[in-house]
A and B are shown apart, each in its own frame.
Chain A
């Protein structure tokens, strides 16, 4: 009774961390994703690898083996297939694939999903999106350690990523407030109205007098949650989004005493273990404020502590008596409790490598480019590549792809089983699998989905092509989103 089993305790049965991967539809990646044709966001290639494999490898490296993979029902089969087929890159992961009904999945937020599967999680959780691509300089362990070593035992550790200059089609930055000295996340601007002034609470500024406000950081949606957050989610069922509701809510808990009073016991169920232990010690005399607080917040412990040995019933200190109880009870704001709630934050700077979520076309494209930057600098050769073709070293060419003579490829990612004709010029583009490019085509800064066919002498610039799109011979497109509405007959 006195020492109930701590949920967060490390035992042989429950792992230290349980990973939860949330895979969604990727509505911002239109026209690349196409659920009808089985092209799902989680499996979109980045640097010729499905993006989810980066996440899984990241977990594997950090030795977080228990993974709960939540995906919409319609994606399940394809992802299941991918997980079982390329098991070799994450041999020790135990991935449980769970799905939610498609209609529900559309309307549910990340927090709703977590709430739904809360009973599956018995330890602290690492919540990740399927689309986060970490640079090599950012191992997951960095994050886990930040969560582990923090003396204040954070309820949440969030990963923020510096965005640098704005990327075209990139995500909108939100305003965030940090306490840089203690790596505390203090403020997430949850006000959607851009005309309103930013309101900063004074109680935050009293507690954290130095707040760094920035709109250059993105929430990576990689979080480490304390187990009790799931209890909180059960309690507060109006929280639907993690990023927009749960995190701002937790931030506010840090400096709003009333809220903390209300929700603190859920998050810190064993908060006064130390106090309790001290009260049983014979040499301990509680300070009046502490005693008051303890009795105010945790009335249940009265029955436990009033043993004959307790200092409260025995030699109570004169200080307790000299201060009228009413005064302390009337304190407008409660003194900070011994177990503050803290939102830890890890900031990944741009200079340490580009990290982002591939949830918009802009970041998807940029991540592909970043992949090229980190790949080998040796000139790319392969059986399918004609010796007379020029493929720059900073390109990536998938297996069984054929590139014909006098074709130049610069800074491109080319998938598997592509057929590229003669005299083709390609630069800065992403080609997925099974793309056919006919002779003399020009492709610049484009994303070409799988099974596309690009006709002879066609010219494409800054275009995004849907799966199976056919570009006619001699056609020219610039800055377009090539997406079909009913034109199915174009398929070959």
Chain B
């Protein structure tokens, strides 16, 4: 239809067709339970499915062929592609869905891509939930130029300059890039998770020999847009253990001496690109779209999906399609009202997105929330800082506090009271979520072994939670313990460090949680004074990242604190099954007296089957062995019990640990630090250490190495820090016993640096 499309077609046909690969699956479960029935890439952001935003961004860059990898709910994705405007022949874009139910990670998808031989030249690799208005074709051009000179420049990552505390740069999922400022070659990459908190990053010294000047950048947003050469999928096939694109692939390529490949970064100074990584960035990206950072892709203009909106003062967008607004309702700033929405009398909506065909009953107050399609909210409700899924029914007089995720089709109320940070769905939470619950129990009482106490997942907490009489809903177990309210910090102890490849766990959550607490006060005062939370950074820079250091405001968007949606990401429990199976296998081995070799083989098979890392296995084994020791914490009986247990399992531990002694000690330490409330129990650490030493599982040198390892003193969360340190001190003591000449342990540094 528009002549320029066809022209472009012709123009580029002589050249190569620009291809893009969209990974529609995110391979994590941060949006659960919202993603139970809908794939994540089809969740609406500003009333448009995320996938369409991605397509639009790619079309803007002149991409002509798009391969969409889908895994979960692939039929829905296909259908969405079918019905979108991109499936029409005039769109100039050819979209090919590829269903790969086997793919469990980005790595698997890339291997499949290599197998299918779909890619002919350099292509754009992008996640299915990216919103961007960048000219990606410029980056492709730059990449190709570079490839001409240097065949080994296999990838260009698009990163955007912002501040360290930019709202679309989630604290739990950031990364540090070390770039050569002249060539913008990426010489080192390190991902920064909220937990375990990194104290420092380690830059290999060889880097400085090759590049005399490098820049360490902690102010870049990883846009998840990469321009890759055809070598990239091949490399994934060659290195079949690569899973994550960044943590495995980029890190692997940069640290490998053999590959000799290099990766470059394209630092975007202008324009917008962000990925919806979790619920927190979901909120952030929504706000960015509403504030028109994504121009020209904004509501009221070129909104993907084609709905038309009327753009009013104060970033209010009212659909032009049969919206019913009551005369007495108040629509605040930064709000989108979707098509055919019905807003009744005295409704107050601020800072929110109301989906198509929603109905908001009289007197309801909605703040900082996202109400998706067809939701029905009855009269007199209060909804703050939450995501309400499709066709949710909320009865009269309900209250939903901030941070809740209400999944599709749930019925609540009347008079439901939902506390902060609840996740509610219509379906029963799957079994592995229960496991999660059990695990927390264990963490509190490791002493008594593997007691899988299954607390009812339909737990009603009378004070915080009231679902209402006609509710059809299940409350999901809290990932952040219920005791958060009590002192706001305790449950980081309950999260152990199994997060080998999982993101943003309790500490990250917790931080946001506490942030939320603050923000309640702040945003209230804002409304009173009529401030616009987006652009007034007067208070926010002080309050928002109170816990961290303030950002020297270098970002385009100054750290606003309008994003009261915290990171609700669950601890994704693909490995939870594995854990329970492991434990039962070990129990069987114990009961039936298997040899350690048999047990080891069994564990390895399990590991292969569930595709988890070695660390996980080690963790389970350590946990199990520690749990086997019976006796009153700190008592002599327990002390005496340790050595027979360790003796019995020494072979297995040695077998599994291979050479990773230091790691094992770390795991042991972590295991101990979780029992925050049992001071006596901590004392057993040194006996374990000693027993391990006696059984030749560890040597003095590995203990020393462990003591030196920065991770052993790392702050794993504030509450547990003391325990980590206690363990560490005990370790130091034990080593001193084992070996008389214990080194000076840099007391000064210890004292000054521990935070």
Contacts and interface: CB of A to CB of B under 8 A. Distances in A.
Interface of A: 175, 177, 181-182, 194-203, 205-216, 238, 255-259, 262, 287, 289, 319, 322-323, 327, 330-333, 335-336
B213 A205 contact: no
A205 B201 contact: yes
B205 A214 contact: no
A442 to B, nearest CB: 37
A209 B218 contact: yes
Contacts of A207: 549-550, 552
A183 to B, nearest CB: 13
B746 to A, nearest CB: 12
B753 A256 contact: yes
A300 to B, nearest CB: 23
B189 to A, nearest CB: 13
9 contacts: A196-B205, A197-B202, A197-B204, A209-B163, A209-B164, A209-B551, A319-B525, A330-B718, A335-B542
A213 B202 CA distance: 13
A319 to B, nearest CB: 7
Contacts of A181: 552, 554
Interface string B375-387: 0000000000000
Interface of B: 163-165, 176, 178, 181, 192, 197-205, 208, 212-219, 488-489, 514, 517-518, 521, 525, 542-543, 546-552, 554, 710, 715, 718, 748, 752-755
Contacts of B753: 256, 258-259
A213 B214 contact: yes
Nearest to A323: B521
Contacts of B217: 209-211
B198 A202 contact: yes
Contact of A257 (B164, B197, B755): B755
B163 A202 contact: no
A68 to B, nearest CB: 30
B558 to A, nearest CB: 14
A405 B546 CA distance: 79
Contact of B546 (A205, A212, A331): A331
A205 B176 CA distance: 9
B459 to A, nearest CB: 27
Contacts of B205: 194-198
Given A194-B205, A200-B203, A216-B212, A322 B521 contact: yes
Nearest to A207: B549
Contacts of A199: 200-203, 710
B209 to A, nearest CB: 9
A343 B626 CA distance: 49
Given A215-B212, A216-B212, 19 more contacts: A197-B205, A198-B208, A199-B710, A200-B201, A205-B216, A206-B549, A206-B551, A207-B550, A209-B217, A209-B219, A212-B181, A212-B215, A213-B213, A257-B549, A257-B755, A258-B753, A259-B753, A289-B546, A330-B718
B724 to A, nearest CB: 14
Contacts of A196: 205
Given A194-B205, A205-B218, A255 B549 contact: yes
Contacts of B202: 197-200
Nearest to A180: B215
Contacts of B710: 199
Contacts of B176: 205
**Most chain-A CB neighbours within 10 Å: which of B176, B213, B215, B216?**
B216
Contact of A212 (B203, B213, B748): B213
A331 B203 contact: no
Nearest to A252: B752
Contacts of B198: 202
A335 B213 contact: no
A201 B212 contact: no
Contacts of A210: 215-219, 554
B208 A201 contact: no
B199 A202 contact: yes
B549 A333 contact: yes
Contacts of A206: 164-165, 218, 548-549, 551
Contact of B550 (A262, A327, A332, A336): A336
Contacts of A212: 181, 213-216
Contacts of B548: 206, 333
A336 B547 CA distance: 10
A345 B715 CA distance: 32
A160 B559 CA distance: 33
Nearest to B207: A198
A187 to B, nearest CB: 9
Contacts of B178: 213
A89 B33 CA distance: 81
A44 B202 CA distance: 43
Contact of B755 (A177, A194, A322, A333): A333
Nearest to A238: B748
Contacts of A255: 549
A216 B521 CA distance: 50
Contacts of A258: 752-755
Given A198-B202, A200-B201, A182 B552 contact: yes
Nearest to B162: A209
A210 B203 CA distance: 15
A266 to B, nearest CB: 14
A259 B204 contact: no
Given A175-B208, A197-B204, A332-B718, A203 B752 contact: no
A328 B554 CA distance: 26
Contact of B201 (A195, A202, A256): A202
Contacts of B218: 205-206, 209-211
**Top 3 nearest A-B pairs by Cβ distance?**
A209-B219, A209-B164, A209-B218
B528 to A, nearest CB: 11
A238 B203 CA distance: 28
Given A323-B521, A331-B546, A333-B548, A211 B216 contact: yes
Nearest to B752: A259
A335 B550 contact: yes
A208 B200 CA distance: 14
B257 to A, nearest CB: 15
B547 A333 contact: yes
Contacts of B547: 331-333
A319 B549 CA distance: 22
A267 to B, nearest CB: 15
B617 to A, nearest CB: 27
Contacts of A331: 546-547
Contact of A208 (B199, B517, B552): B552
Nearest to B165: A206
Contact of B192 (A201, A202, A323): A202
Contacts of A202: 192, 197-201
Contacts of B755: 203, 256-258, 332-333
B752 A287 contact: no
Nearest to A179: B552
A335 B539 CA distance: 13
B545 to A, nearest CB: 9
B549 A201 contact: no
A116 to B, nearest CB: 23
A318 to B, nearest CB: 9
A67 to B, nearest CB: 35
A335 B551 CA distance: 11
B541 to A, nearest CB: 10
Contacts of A214: 212-214
A203 B547 CA distance: 11
A337 to B, nearest CB: 11
A258 B514 CA distance: 22
A353 B550 CA distance: 38
A335 B212 contact: no
A203 B216 CA distance: 13
A195 B488 CA distance: 42
Given A213-B216, A333-B547, A205 B521 contact: no
A343 B199 CA distance: 22
A336 B208 contact: no
Nearest to B518: A323
